[in-house]
Structure formats: C-alpha cells, structure tokens
Amino acid sequence: MALSSDELVKREISDFIGHGDSGLKLRIFPQSSREDQELFSAGGLTFGVNQVSYGSCDAAWYSEEAWIDPFNNSIGKSKPLIAVEATDALNRGSSGNAQYQRFHHALGAVKAGCIGVYYFRPGKDKIQEDLFAMAYRASQLELGTYIVTDSINKLKKLVNLTGNPSALEKELSQLLEDMEDRFQSKFRLKYNSDWHKFASDRSTLLIDGMVIKHAGRMSRNFTDSSQRAGHIAVGEMYLTKYFFPNKPIIYLFAKMLKSERESLDQRKTFDKEWHLLRNEPDVSIATLDDIVGISRNTKKRLIAIKDDPLKGTALQIYKKCMQEIVFGLQSKTMTIALN
C-alpha cells in the first residue's frame, strides 16, 4: 500500500534528520494522531499569536527551555527553534496555486519567532517562485525567519547549526538571498519587473495605494469539508499581503453575498481558514453587495451562479462580469464600500 503524502515526508524527516546533532529534540506525530492540533506549549505542533492559530506543522525541533507561547502567553516547558510543514505535492500534480495552501502553517511558527520551513519533497514539478518571495518578505516583516526549500539536506543543515548561532545566521541569510534571487529572475523575465503586470496576472488591482484581490470564492468553499478552496484562498491572501506590504487589502469575493459573509462569521468562528481571513491585520473581505455602482444586470448574473463551481457556462459568466467590475473599479465608476 502506497504511503500518504504526510506519512512519506514525516518518515523522511524522522529517518534522515531525526534529532540532529545539536542536542535538540524532535517532536513529530504519526499521520493518524491528532496531537499536532494542540498548541506547541501544550505538547502539539500548532503555532499562533494573539489568539490566532495558523494551523499545525508536521515536525519541530526544540530545546528543553521555558518558552512563552505568544498565542496566549502561556508558559511551556519546551522552546521551539525550527518548525517544518512538509509536503509531497511536487509528486502529486500540485504545480500551481495549490502550493500556496499550506504556506500559513509554517507562517504561524515564523510569527511566533521561530524558523519556519515549508519543505517540498523533490518531484516532477517545481516550487512556484512566488513562494520563495512570499517567505523572503515574511522574514522581513515577521519576528522569525521563513525558508522554502526542496532540499532535505538544507533542512538538516539548519537543524545541525542551531548550536552555532553565528553559523546559523549566515546560513539563513544565504538561503534568503538565494530565494529572492530565484523570484527576481522570473520577475524580470516574465513581468519585466513591472508590479502592475505581476498584480494583473494574479487577479489583483493596485488603485490609489489600495490593493484589491478578486477571486470567485463562494460560501460552500468554507463550509464543505471536501473543498480545498478555503486553504488556497488563505494562501493567495498571504501572497497578496507579502508582495504588497503595508497597504490595505480588500479581498473581493464577487460570488458571495453580504448575508453569506455574516453567516460564515457566525458559523465558522473556529474555522482556521475563515478565521485567518477575517483576522489578518489590514485585510478585509468584500462581497458582491459591497460593490457600489455595479449594474443591476451584472449583479443578477453573479447571483445566479453564486453557488456554482467556476467551470463551463458559470466560468464564462463570471469572467465577463469580472471584466466589467475590474473596468469599473479602474475607471472609478465603481467603488467598494464595506458595510
């Protein structure tokens, strides 16, 4: 029987790195365990800050020192140094934005001041260059350092260098520089270093110092457990935030009504993805009802497909409607007024 993605990467971490050579201990749970859902300070592998959880990691290396967990300021007996979110996605057809969907798991550790690593087991696909830049920029803005890599050897080296702070800092700086270089190479080649072209390719508008990201998410994406769009929505939100830092971001779900947003706020209070979308600083969720100046016909057409997956006729309608909305926002005949 073939191993699942989680079990495969966890075994690789355990067998190839283990506890490492610097006296740290490795915390890792079997795939069937739910212990990783607990906060790190409570014996799990979940990190967060200010009562906001960012999802569980697959493994973490720690020392036996007291640590104040920034999620709730509780005191733990173990201090995490490196936390890793690992995936076999490159061998399982994840070549596009699906790679973003677990970015926030390791981000929780980074926000908590640790080294967070998003490790991709090498495969037939490549890591999206955007992820390298997202992690690089998160490292500039957050308390810890974020590394994205497909090298188990680099991860092992980080673990083994934890006993040598100066060497570890040098290694981290080099990895960050390499990550930024990989993104910039694509940025120059594909976008001619033009941020407006980059934004447009990602359904994003830059208007008057504000960033508007639009996507065809619907309420069911966040209520149906079979849907993965909620995870991807969070990843795309962080892509937008870290590429356009210190700017207010409006995440426009033009297939969602205000009443559905309010319902999700009430029903999904403890849903990690929706909670992150609603609690990330400088990020607001806008709906179809928040678009001022939209024609009655366009709104009617979007309402008619609001519960339909974006394919076939529904996709054609959505694209046509979004062309009108994008033009309206750019020409200032439409605005977004959150209410």
pLDDT by residue (tens digit) across 167-196? 999 999 999 999 999 999 999 999 999 999
Backbone phi, then psi, for 46, in 5-degree steps? Answer: -105, 135
Q: How far apart are CA 339 and CA 315, in angstroms?
A: 27
Greater pLDDT, 32 or 255? 255
Greater pLDDT, 114 or 33? 114
pLDDT at position 231 is 85
User: Pick from 187, 209, 233: which residue ends a domain?
Assistant: 187
Report helix, strand or coil for 117: strand
User: Pick from 153, 170, 187: which residue ends a domain?
Assistant: 187
Q: Report how many domains make up the chain.
A: 2
Residues 269 and 319 in one domain: yes
Residues 220 and 283 in one domain: yes
Residues 239 and 313 in one domain: yes
In this predicted structure, the answer to whether residue 224 has a pLDDT above a threshold of 90 is no
E strands present in 188-293: 204-207, 210-215, 249-253, 283-287, 291-292
pLDDT at position 49 is 95
Report pTM: 0.92
Residues 120 and 259 in one domain: no
Residues 290 and 321 in one domain: yes
Residues 270 and 306 in one domain: yes
Residues 31 and 14 in one domain: yes
Q: How far apart are CA 251 and CA 55, in angstroms?
A: 21
Residues 15 and 112 in one domain: yes
**Residue 1 pLDDT level (bands cut at 50, 70, 90):** very low
The residue segments making up the domain with residue 312 are 195-336
